[in-house]
Amino acid sequence: MVQLARSIGDTSQGIRLKHIITSDGNKEAEGLVDQLELNQHQLGLELDRGYLPLDLGFEPVEDTKISPSIERCEGESGSPTDETYTDTIDLKIRSEDGSPLRFRTYIVTEEGDKHGPYEFYAPPQKAADWCVEILSREFDEGTFEELYDYYGTDVESEIVRQLLEDTRGYLSSDQFLRVLNICGEALPDFREEINRVYSHNQIAKFLPGGDNDRAFEIDSWPRLRQFCATSSQLRYTPTYNEKELVREAISETTQVISTQKVTRFRRLWSLEQALDISKRYPDQLDYDQFVGLVARSAYEGSYDRARSLVIDRISPSEVDTLTDGIDQAKDHSSKQGWKGLLPIAAKREKEQKTFKFVLANFLQEIGYGTDLPKLYSIFTFKTSAELFDSIGLESFTRTSRFQEHYLRGQRGLKIEDFESARQDLEAAREYSLKEIDEYGEDKFTRLADSWFYLCRAKLNYYTQDGEIEEAIDYLNDAVAAVEAYDDFPDETEQTRCRTRIEALLCEANGDKHLRDQDYSEAESSYGKAIGKLSGIDRDLDNEIRYLKNRRLAIEASIMESDGEYDEAAKTYDKLEAEPDGGNPFVLFHETRSELCRVKAAIVESDFEVAERLLGDVGYTSNALEVEVNQIESLLELLRNYHRGGITEIDQAWDILEEAKESDRNHVDIDFGYGHDYRPAFVNIIGAQRLKNLIEDEEMIDPLVDIAIRDVLNSDVDQIISQEGFSYSSFDESWKNRIPDFITRQIQDIKQEAAKKRSSDNYVSPLESLTGLLEECLEVFVAYDARERYGMDWQSEVDQNGDVSMGNLSGYINKDIFESDEIAEKVRKLISQEKFGDIVLDDQDDDIVGVRNDLAHNNVSSITQDEFCRVRDHVYEVFTTVASEMPVLGKVGEGSQLHGYSVELLVLDHRDRIDIVSDTELQENDIYYFTGEVITSESIKKIDSDEIWSQEAADIFESIESHSDITIS
């Protein structure tokens, strides 16, 4: 039997775990499970003498069944061998259908240290058997026919690719090449594809740090040379060149994102450690990559490597002594600065402290570079801080720490990680205050900046959770604190700091007025903020642009709702995009501008122009697409009216039904966006018939004009609250985190409530809304419980499997949440006793009581005021849980190994994202993802512990079982 081998492990701990598998294809009697036997599971421990394993533990993934037996291997004298100790474990893993399995193992040493867990992937049994047949040349035409059937394709290159993807985690590099060669020999069509499918670029991913974690890894220089040598001896495989493979791997570590170069330093460091690329291929490294390796070497404590790197790469400065050079670098009188001093200091091996000092200053100097990505600068400052700290230079350390936290805080603001931004900017401000306290001056000249950005982070953090009043209170306190702080070295700087925070306060008030639909006050507040910022001598273009855009958007939205389409379009056009473009807020209003020009043409009965302009509209969301569809339907109806035609009611209704659907996400958005188009359609259809009866256009046309203006004059509240500001404020931001099947129903409930008169009974929409709250909390609780309790999470919620609002509330009230800020907020909200006038006297008067009474038909009447009170409370819960909600996503068809196209099940966000993960995902399955998947990045790397599968499907089935929802 051919063994399929794998070697993985934590080499930094001196452990290498070797896994050898033999697939014997045993099958039990019909109706029983297939077996995949893993024989000779060997654990090789390359450790110091006397460091023996005490215990070997195994953690099965999902329903994997493992039966280990352990045998201690000793030397001839009965004592352990000198350097390597091997324990042998026999495992048997059962799979119900022979599908791939994952399981984990860990090692507990005599000293009690636990290493691992190490996760293993066991390939599909059939795939392993086919590889055995191919490698032993025991195959025939029937083997490949089976492969065609198994993988559902007769494309030879595709079945070989799938087979190798399924099994290459257990193939050595030599076996991989042999399978490739034999398949090339047996399959002529595949032979022509080998060079393309397995190019240098693809094989370079198997070098250290690549994305193919299940693939064999060419993890040393000898293995790389052997791999290339073997390829040259085989007839049907590409001949791989060492230098070309390394060049491709290094090249893959750097990419350009939005005109800025970004380097994956972890991958680069892996290549350096395994292949010594800086020595063997220095010409393949650009300067930024070289500096990154120097910084990482120093950060990891590999000072000899750092010395070697700078000596080989940098020309020394021409200075009389190193001390003179340091003095010149300090006063910036040297052209090379600290860079030229590095090789001089590096050659003085006995002066470690001097080398660290020069290297730390060099990295700090690099960090100040204005054209560097923030992540790059953050790491160089972080490393310089560690170096300064190691030689006891507290003030120097503080300088680098300030820059590290300040830049990371700004990055947190940019990627909307406001909690992390708040923590980092708080730390930066504290470093500034310590510096002033010790030296009497703001050496960083950034106290005002760090204080301002801290307030910005706080504002965004509070408004993200819908707590705008708390943000206003915080900013009022911050203004007072800045005024009371007497140690600002510069009074002008203190004034700037206070004024900028006052501008944030005006902005927060504007957001509050916007939420309250007091648009004139919102415009006024934003105007005050602009006035304050415009008077400061600082580069505040971004802040001013942001506020002007909000003000202009409000002004244009009001014009559009008043039917002033030409003026609205001109005002929308004044919104300014970010310098790098791509601002969704501005893109949305560019579409509104285009729509206003379409509307203006329709009002003027210039249908040809309207149709042409409508064809150029580039909608950026589902709702905009539906609005375009509705206007297109209206145009068709109007053209028919002016031609004297008559449209049937059923035909018109079919047109509107089709208009509701977004092709982007196949989501139906009902008539609630803008105005209900049905009354306008009825009026125009009636006018068509009336026109044929009395032929008096002067009497009929004004009626049509009224219908047109009524439906085209979109409600300003709809424009602003539903779409126009969703990308630039956090009102109802929970919509981007709550699963879309819930959000879509909320829209339906809104429409149901909007159609009612104030005197009507609101029981039906309120029952639906509280039911959705229960479903939302079910997702929240399932996600949290799975994280805390693993596969047995359901028993922690309710042992009878009956998930109800009461059970969910009981779970959230557990002591485990005592220090959980989000759960504490949810707990307070769902237990607030504020609905005593709605529920029965003998029931709890919190939201749980409301839900229970409605679900059991104990409430016969709900007023509009009662509905609004409960609705606002439910929205507050949504806002709170949204920050901790998982994002549900469905894996699309045609996904490749480790690269997947995932449809996010959230409303009005990107249709799909591309993710890279070390977890194998199944097509058409639904998974939980952490909220970080919602970003502007085109490709998102997600770790395995950020993806959960089975529970996502379970919760969907559970929700479907007690609702009318169908998940598609």
The Cα diameter of the chain in Å comes to 115
Work out whether strand 101-109 and strand 114-122 pair parallel, antiparallel, or are unpaired: antiparallel
Taking residues 773-777, report their average pLDDT.
81
pLDDT for the residue numbered 259: 47
Res. 64: pLDDT tops 50:
no
Categorize the per-residue pLDDT at 41 as very low, low, confident or very high, splitting at 50, 70 and 90: very low
Amino acid present at 837: D
Per residue in 478-497, pLDDT (tens digit) is 999 888 887 776 788 888 88
Per residue in 868-883, pLDDT (tens digit) is 788 878 877 877 777 6
Amino acid present at 367: G
Res. 360: pLDDT tops 60:
yes
Res. 427: pLDDT tops 70:
yes
Amino acid present at 378: I
- For tokens 């709605």, the residue is 838
Per residue in 736-767, pLDDT (tens digit) is 566 666 766 776 776 677 667 666 788 888 88
Which comes out higher in pLDDT, residue 13 or 584?
584
Categorize the per-residue pLDDT at 89 as very low, low, confident or very high, splitting at 50, 70 and 90: very low
| Cα(830)–Cα(805) distance, integer angstroms | 10
CB environment 230-264: b (16+ within 10 A), e (fewer): bbeebebbbebebeebbbbbbebbbeeeeeeebbe
Plot region of 937 (φ>0 → left; ψ -120 to 50 → alpha; else → beta): beta
CB environment 310-339: b (16+ within 10 A), e (fewer): beebbebbebeebeebbebbeeeebebbbb
Q: In the chain, how many H helices and how many E strands?
A: 39, 18
**Residue 23 near residue 36 (C-beta atoms within 8 A):** yes
| Cα(945)–Cα(964) distance, integer angstroms | 32
Q: Where are the domains of the chain?
A: 4-122, 127-253, 429-533, 545-726, 744-882, 887-961
Amino acid present at 164: L
| Cα(99)–Cα(123) distance, integer angstroms | 7
For the beta sheet containing 53-60, the strands, ordered from the edge strand earlier in sequence to the opposite edge, are 53-60, 101-109, 114-122
CA dist 477 to 417, 473, 488, 502, 857, Å? 23, 6, 18, 11, 48
Per residue in 144-183, pLDDT (tens digit) is 888 888 888 888 888 888 888 777 666 778 888 988 899 8
Task: Name which CATH class applies to 4-122.
Answer: mainly beta
- For tokens 């994997």, the residue is 64
Q: Name the pTM for this structure.
A: 0.52
Res. 228: pLDDT tops 90:
yes
pLDDT for the residue numbered 506: 93
**Mean pLDDT highest for which of 217-221, 477-481, 886-890?**
477-481
Which comes out higher in pLDDT, residue 226 or 37?
226
Mean of the per-residue pLDDT values of the chain? 71
pLDDT > 90: percent of the chain: 7
Res. 680: pLDDT tops 50:
yes
**Beta-strand (E) ranges in 33-170?**
34-46, 53-60, 69-72, 84-95, 101-109, 114-122
Taking residues 402-421, report their average pLDDT.
80
| Cα(30)–Cα(34) distance, integer angstroms | 9
Fold topology of 887-961? OB fold (Dihydrolipoamide Acetyltransferase, E2P) (2.40.50)
pLDDT for the residue numbered 312: 84
Res. 92: pLDDT tops 70:
no
